Structure 1
Amino acid sequence: MRQAKIVTEAELKRVMAYLSTRRHALRDQTIFAVSFNAGLRAMEIAALKIEDVYTAEGGVREIIQLHTTKGDQPRRVFVNKRLNAALRRYYPTISVKKPCTALFPSQKGGHFSGNTIAQLFLEVYAACRIDGASSHSGRRTMITRLADQGISVHVLAAIAGHRNIAITQRYLTVNDALIARAVELA
């Protein structure tokens, strides 16, 4: 099976600039921020509810409790500073702030399906002419960047919600810069 493309920083900037021109710019930018900063799958993004991400007072939670995951195993997702900032910008745009409401409502006010979120990613990447990217690119990019910074595969597996590190290792790509840094440690 072909893996999703790892998106470069320049490509991500191009995506975010393109998203700023769309009708639901902040919503779409926040969806991408969740993908690239929390490593969530499309189905996990679609399943997020306001209460999962925000406190009753509207503050961003430090930890998001995911209930809908690929393996049906609840997991905790830590919110980094970049994602926190994106979620704080997004909160004022939410029209219905009931706890059980979808975090990312569709145009009709309902929630997106995982497939619809995946289609959004494909549409945006196509518009930005980024070949090989998919809804899994944010997740794979995040995990690979962390690995490149020396984060242990065991920690990466916990972040990704993988029970087996062999699954996590499939996300990782060895490159010349990583090898060069490694041999300098010897």
Structure 2
Amino acid sequence: MVGITDDKGKQVMLCDSEDSEDDDFPPTTDERIIRALVVHHDDHIVKTHEVMLNTLDVETHSVKTSQEAMKLICVEEVYDLILLARYLPIIDGVQMTKMLRDMEYPTTIVGVTRLLTESQREDFFSAGLDGCFDNERPLTDKTLAVIVESIPRRQTWKKRNIYSTIYQSF
């Protein structure tokens, strides 16, 4: 604990954390920075989502595979939103969602995919999906604006150091 005095002379105690988890948060400002990751193999869908997200002032990255996404997630960035295809090579969207939830990764994951059967939808949601749009590819600007508006404030990823170290050891 660190004691500081506020502008009215009152003593305030703050936690003195040596933990670097706060690095996940953007600098303290009035304006909120939202980061999104688009994981999809279709270039048209990726480009459309990138343009719409940038219009909404969302910092956007995109990749074509789950492997590339996991590298970004484990080593580089914490994303507030992941737009995820259901069908991807090697590691599909269901498996990636389950992996992220098992890692306690704090993000909103939205499936953007072709039409799913009820069973496929249940599998995707049971993996930890927050929302799914299987009738709208790419998403409309209104839908994307509602998704972005509903994203909660970024939380610290408590297991970041563990998974970053594991990923970099491969």
* Superposition TM-score, scaled by structure 2 size: 0.26
Greater per-residue strand proportion = 2
* Superposition TM-score, scaled by structure 1 size: 0.25
Greater per-residue helix proportion = 1
Larger RCO: 1 or 2 (CA < 8 Å, sep 6+): 1
The structure with the largest alpha-carbon Rg is 2
